[in-house]
Chain A
């Protein structure tokens, strides 16, 4: 009963607060001018009422970007082709869209998007949220979020928006922000450090096992943070947390350039499991439009016996540039990377991981499955580095590429650096087509060509799906089917 009362109260607060901010009248003032300069960085920081240290940090990042990365241009080593990005032709800060600015109902939303929601079986009220339809309050997810918050607070777990964390838990943010991905790490991460809009902060106290999967899906106030999102997850000694990012439903977004940063820190005996399903708009069948997704994700296994495991299912975006990595610093620490990357039509993906073995007896596993169809190009790029002190370190890497059709490409670019003679590194790679034999076998048993392909592709990805949380795995499987629709014909 108490929960019900809380829920109602919280919902009421939310409704009240929205009206209180008066979004409708203030739209124009809440947008920074086009282009990127020091003034914009200061504007963002001021809008968010940030402490001086964070403004200074943003400014250091901005200067590094301006002096080092802007003149040099974007990195060119990835197997990706796209026209140069005009950074001065974009907005870097906009307050959440007002109700008046949004589609009034699903009737005003792109019918293609609705069709996809239908195929994925997304409940009606969730479709409205995903498509950005103006709704007063989403009662279901508000109540779920409220219930979550109470359960988490009881265990001392912090799970909130980054801007809230900067206000409420400044010391923790200051202690860890930028310690895994330095502000000047690469051009996209540097850009993000200067202008990040918002994101998620998680802290799990020592010895606490987070009782539920933490999902951005249930986090309110998450709107419009997609473009330059900043996530920081800290698992203190002996704790455990599983974090789900993204959503299988295609998200509507008007910003083409996305440059997110995710930092994970695992202390002694702690474990972080980070699962992503990425389904940003991939562009149309002719390769027009679509999101450019340049993400820097890195986890530090700082403590002894710590573990970080990345699982990603990448089906969206016109361009994916993403290498979720592990720095295995603590002795006996473990890093894992499980990935399924699907590219269709004219999508391009250059994705993989870095496993940096520093501590003794560190272990890492890399399983990468890529599926290419249409004219798509799919590259696995991965680094395994064994440092001199990493005695008895072990790595196992398996990269498999599956081709559908004869106009797409799968590429594997492994980098292996071993500086300790007691280490053991294994690398297996394969590229194959769905064979006519397999497809005919399925069809002879009564499966249509598309169902046959889906079955074979799902089998191919099974090891990765198995490492996803159960519900996510089912959704991911469905998503793959929708992504590859029409690739056989």
Chain B
């Protein structure tokens, strides 16, 4: 279970999250929707432990442990994965090499044997196949010269290989054509299980018709201002965020 309690976060001195409370039980998929500047990305960066995102108050408890007390890499190794809104380019490093290094860091942390190159290649290819991706992507440099859609697919591939327990997808659906959107949805749906907790942070309802959430929350002014079932997303799509924004203000 993920429990965020009274979370206050400042970025460069300005308060972005302002007493955010959120509970996501194990096995559920929750969507967080909100207008631009409501603090969606701040929430995901804070959960992942990015420098400069200062939690001034509150807790992020995952399975009873406060993530805020852990280094970013330890959060990742303990099973937290963030799909980036803007995946980062790493010149000269192949997707295959990058992912193998990441997977082995996880395995080492769990006290498991590291995978060798051949074993890993098999694993990576079979995951690419499942998601309907070209093997060629594995040999390309991480996110270099990738189209927007390719970058997001690559995030999903990484997610599939690392098999995280707590998933945060930060606007992974933005700017995608329908094919790429389906790959993202498939990747998330494949990982849906009793012991996983999934948070979809999004601006639009679009992804939610492919990955149906158990609950939808509205983030505005740095806190959750409304929660409901999957229909709430449709309401938002029709009416916009205006009424929630005023409420928060």
Contact = CB atoms under 8 A, between A and B. Distances in A.
B162 A446 contact: yes
A461 interface: yes
Interface string A328-355: 0000000000000000000000000000
Interface stretch (B6-14, B87-95, B130-138, B195-203): B87-95
Given A445-B102, A447-B101, A455 B90 contact: yes
Contact of A445 (B71, B92, B162): B162
Interface string A409-448: 0000000000000000000000000011110111111111
A386 B101 CA distance: 45
Given A438-B90, A444-B48, A445-B76, A459 B141 contact: yes
Contacts of A462: 92-93
Given A443-B72, A444-B76, A455 B93 contact: yes
Given A451-B105, A459-B92, A443 B73 contact: yes
A441 B98 CA distance: 11
B92 A441 contact: no
B69 interface: no
A457 to B, nearest CB: 9
Interface in B79-103: 81-82, 84, 87-93, 97-99, 101-102
B178 to A, nearest CB: 27
Given A436-B51, A440-B51, A459-B141, A448 B90 contact: no
B91 A460 contact: yes
Contacts of A438: 88-90
Contacts of B141: 459
A441 B93 contact: no
A120 interface: no
Most buried by B among A435, A451, A459: A459
A449 B73 CA distance: 8
B93 A459 contact: yes
Contacts of A451: 101, 105
A461 B93 CA distance: 10
A460 B84 CA distance: 22
Given A440-B72, A458-B92, A459-B91, A446 B98 contact: no
B84 A446 contact: no
A435 B88 CA distance: 10
Given A455-B101, A459-B93, A459-B141, A441 B84 contact: yes
A438 B93 CA distance: 12
Contacts of A449: 73
Interface centre among A440, A442, A445, A446 (most CB of B within 10 A): A446
A152 to B, nearest CB: 34
A257 to B, nearest CB: 36
Interface in B42-60: 48-51
Contacts of A463: 92
B158 interface: yes
Contacts of B76: 443-446
Nearest to A369: B92
A447 B92 contact: no
B109 A455 contact: no
B77 interface: yes
A138 interface: no
A113 interface: no
Interface in A432-489: 435-438, 440-449, 451, 455-456, 458-463
Interface size class of B (residues with CB under 8 A): 20 to 34
Contact of A446 (B87, B88, B91, B106): B106
Contact of A461 (B84, B87, B92): B92
A459 B162 contact: no
Nearest to A432: B91
A437 B162 contact: no
Contacts of B99: 445
A441 B95 CA distance: 13
A448 B70 CA distance: 12
A445 B93 contact: no
A458 B50 CA distance: 23
Given A444-B82, A445-B162, A446-B77, A437 B109 contact: no
A441 B88 contact: yes
Interface string B131-163: 000000000010000000000000000100010
A436 B97 CA distance: 20
Contacts of A442: 90, 102
A460 B109 CA distance: 27
B50 to A, nearest CB: 5
A440 B50 contact: yes
Contacts of B81: 444
B90 A441 contact: yes
Contacts of A458: 92-93
Nearest to B48: A444
A325 B48 CA distance: 49
A448 B93 contact: no
Nearest to A459: B92
Nearest to B91: A459
Given A455-B93, A460-B92, A447 B73 contact: yes
Contact of A459 (B51, B90, B105, B106): B90
Interface string B17-59: 0000000000000000000000000000000111100000000
25 contacts: A435-B88, A438-B88, A440-B50, A440-B88, A441-B84, A441-B87, A441-B90, A442-B90, A445-B99, A445-B102, A445-B162, A446-B102, A447-B73, A449-B73, A455-B93, A455-B97, A455-B98, A456-B90, A456-B93, A458-B92, A458-B93, A459-B92, A460-B91, A461-B92, A463-B92
Given A440-B51, A447-B102, 20 more contacts: A438-B90, A440-B48, A440-B50, A440-B88, A442-B102, A443-B49, A443-B73, A444-B49, A444-B73, A445-B98, A445-B99, A446-B73, A446-B77, A447-B73, A447-B105, A455-B90, A456-B93, A459-B93, A461-B92, A463-B92
3 shortest interchain CB distances as A-B pairs: A459-B92, A459-B93, A462-B92
